Each structure stands twice: as C-alpha cells, then as structure tokens.
A and B are shown apart, each in its own frame.
Chain A
C-alpha cells in the first residue's frame, strides 16, 4: 500500500553550510563548463567557414554582455578547478573535519575570484 502521509520539508527549511554551498556550486559550474566548452568548440568550428564568422563572434565578445559572459565562464572554470583540487584531497581522506572543510571551502570561494582577476589581467596583458 502506498504511504499517503505527507513528506516532511527538506531543502525548503535546511540551513546552508559552506560545504553544501561549495558542493552545489561545483555541480552547477560543472554544467556551465560543459555548455561553454561546447560553445567554444562551435566557435572554433565556425572559423573554418571564413572571416565573417570571426567578425560576428568578435563583435559579440567586445560587447558588454559578451565580456560579462567571458568573465563569468572564467570564474566558473576557476571555481571548478579549485573545488576539484579540494575534492582530490578529500579523496585521499584528508580535510573532513568541520573546521577544515569550512576553511578550504572559503579558500575555494575567495581564490576563485582572485584567479578570475589574475586570468583577466593576464589576458589583457596588464601584468606579465
């Protein structure tokens, strides 16, 4: 017989922790990265069909919206990379204490932004 009792509330009431936030963000950035890699590949493929295609993409990336997307993707990649390094360390069995996970989680969040800025500055040849 199917249990028709109500289901107790879950994600609606549960408080977020740093570790759960980093975990869900890792999953979301993973999906964004797959989509953006696909788009980048399509962009490269379109270059085979001549200069006009290059012009269109270039125009888009020069716009404010295009720049916003480019920087967003850079952050998504940075976050994913750092978070996966954190997960690799966890796979070795380290860093499971609450204090440590909170610290590594905050490090991942802060350094993802720092890395984004560094990549931006490198890309614009402002540094190096």
Chain B
C-alpha cells in the first residue's frame, strides 16, 4: 500500500553535532542517518564538521574519515572500494549510488547520507535486503541446460553473447530497486528492477532452455507490471545499466510471443 508518511518509530529526530577540532578553514557539514538497535530511541540525523583539506575524493573516503577520526560508532557496509562489490550502496544527496564511486565534490551544500530508501534499518546506514535476495532466488538465477557435453564449452555466437551486454555487469547493489516508488509501495510482491533485470538476463541467454517457463513465471500483474516506467532505477544505477529497458523488453517479449 502507498504510505507516504514514515511510521511513528521511524521519524527522524535531531541528532548530535560534532564540531570540527582541527581548526581547518575548509569545512563541510555532513548529515548522517543514525539508528542504534540497542536503544529504544528513534533514528536521528547526526551532523559532522569535516576538514576537507585532508579528505580523499569519494563519499566513502569521507565516511572512513569520520569513522577513523571523529566517531568510531558509525556503521556502514563497505568492501572493495572500487565499485565492484556493491556493498556501500546508500542514498547520498537524495540519490542512490555507491559511496565508493560518488565524488563528494558533485554534491552541493551539506552532504546528506541516508541508508537505501524504504528498507528495515539494521544499524545506521545498513538496510535489510533479505526480501530482495529472496526474490532474486525466486527467479532461479542459474543456467538451465539439459545437454550433457561434459568436456566441451557451451558455445554461443558473438551476436547472442552481445545480448548479455548491459545485463551481466549488474552487481546487485540494490540501488535501482530501492529507488523505485513502485517497489517502495509493493516491495513484497513486485520483483523490482534489480531482480527483473536479472530475470531478463537469463531469459535472453541463448544457452538457457527454460525461456518459456521463465517468461511465464514473471508474467504477473504484480511481479512485473507494477513497473510504470518512472525510470528512477536507470537514473540511479551506478554501473550505467538500464533496468527499465530490460523490464520493457520482458513486457515486449510477453506481448509478441
């Protein structure tokens, strides 16, 4: 259901203010969403003054600097720091992206950092993505092929292989799905852009023999057709992929076959 307002226990309160102690003249204010599961308090927005003269270029560097030098209690996911693992997906300046690839110089004014939208928060910037992973599992993201040619490669023409370009690069960071208003309101039933892009990746694979069943499986009023081409997904994707187009291709295949 469409619920515009946040529930009572999710309302964001004013948090603490960490004043700069370095005496630097190049200061930026960073507002970060905080929630501690060990207390019964509501989430809050803490503000940190950060010395930008000694801070590398990306938002993740900024977070690391705050964690190392100002407040070690802040929690966020990160791993590769090169836009490959998808761990540090979060909402920066009102737009989803990877903290490790987003330069803070692109953000004007105060830097606002929130967890990915419309998720159950586990701590601070960490959201619960279990529902998305379950949905990913439901589309059976593995090759289904009955041929038993154990000692040979499964050949594919250059043309067939090129159909997977723009799909196989997806790192499942969930930036797209959590940017989608349809997924916010119907996340329990609608599969969302990330999972549908993956579904299309297996539907279009020439080596897969289950195309018809896969198409039938997603052909559902709620699973697929909740996509209303809002295109927040394509705008958010940090890898420059186009989930909206993948969803449109699935709809087209269903309409023409």
Contact = CB atoms under 8 A, between A and B. Distances in A.
Contacts of A8: 10, 33, 91, 114-121, 127
A51 interface: no
A69 B147 CA distance: 66
Interface size bucket, B side? Answer: 35 or more
B26 to A, nearest CB: 26
Given A7-B120, A23-B229, A96 B94 contact: no
Interface of A: 3-15, 17, 19-20, 23-24, 27, 87, 90-93, 96-98, 101
Interface string B89-126: 00101110000000000000000101111111110000
Q: Summarize A's interface: helix, strand, loop or mixed.
A: loop
Contacts of A97: 242
B93 A15 contact: yes
B6 A23 contact: no
Contacts of B245: 93, 96
Given A11-B184, A91-B248, A96-B242, A5 B122 contact: yes
Given A5-B35, A7-B6, A23-B228, 13 more contacts: A5-B128, A6-B7, A9-B6, A9-B114, A13-B94, A14-B117, A15-B95, A17-B231, A24-B230, A93-B249, A93-B252, A96-B231, A96-B245
A6 B231 contact: no
B27 interface: no
B95 to A, nearest CB: 5
A15 B95 CA distance: 6
A90 B249 CA distance: 10
A7 B5 CA distance: 10
A14 B94 CA distance: 4
Contact of A6 (B10, B179, B181, B235): B10
B48 to A, nearest CB: 18
B4 interface: yes
Nearest to B90: A8
B248 A6 contact: no
Contacts of A19: 229-232, 235
A20 B230 contact: yes
Contact of B118 (A10, A27, A92, A93): A10
B9 interface: yes
Output the residue of A7, A90, A93 with the most chain B CB within 10 A. Answer: A7
A90 B228 CA distance: 11
Interface in B115-147: 115-122, 127-128
Contacts of A4: 9
A92 B249 CA distance: 9
B232 A6 contact: no
A10 B232 contact: no
B43 interface: yes
Contacts of B4: 11
B78 interface: no
Contact of B120 (A5, A20, A92): A5
A57 B237 CA distance: 52
Contact of A5 (B37, B117, B230): B37
A100 B249 CA distance: 17
Nearest to A7: B10
